[in-house]
């Protein structure tokens, strides 16, 4: 399923049929989800760093508001 392999496969096996198996579809989906999770995590880190910097600029002490955070369950 790698894009750069398409031409090689087409030239080497002109009569071959493309088959996508469940494992690779699932892997592609999980990889995409992981990229989204990483993006959101960096956004959260950046937001927290901005909040810390803003409080320091105001000569205040930064504290996290854990009571405002939503506690998510690991249950399905």
Is the residue at 33 inside a domain?
A: yes
pLDDT at 57: 92
Is the residue at 72 inside a domain?
A: no
Is the residue at 4 inside a domain?
A: no
Is the residue at 69 inside a domain?
A: no
Q: Would the pLDDT of 67 be above 70? A: no
In a 3-state reduction of DSSP, which class is residue 39?
helix
What average pLDDT score do residues 45-57 get? 90
Neighbouring CB atoms inside 10 A of 55's CB total 13
| pLDDT tens, position by position, 9-47 | 888 999 988 888 899 899 999 999 999 999 999 999 999
C-alpha distances (whole Å) from 43 to each of 10, 23, 34, 36, 37 are: 42, 30, 14, 11, 10
Q: Which domain holds residue 42?
A: 20-59
pTM: 0.57
pLDDT at 63: 78
Structurally, the chain folds into a number of domains equal to 1
Is the residue at 35 inside a domain?
A: yes
């Amino acid at each position: 399923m790698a894009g750069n392999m398409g031409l090689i496969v087409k030239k080497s096996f002109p009569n071959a049929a493309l088959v996508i198996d469940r494992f690779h579809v699932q892997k592609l989906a999980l990889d995409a989800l992981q990229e989204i999770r990483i993006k959101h995590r960096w956004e959260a880190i950046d937001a927290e760093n901005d909040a810390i910097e803003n409080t320091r600029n105001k000569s205040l002490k930064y504290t996290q508001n854990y009571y405002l955070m939503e506690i998510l369950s690991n249950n399905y």
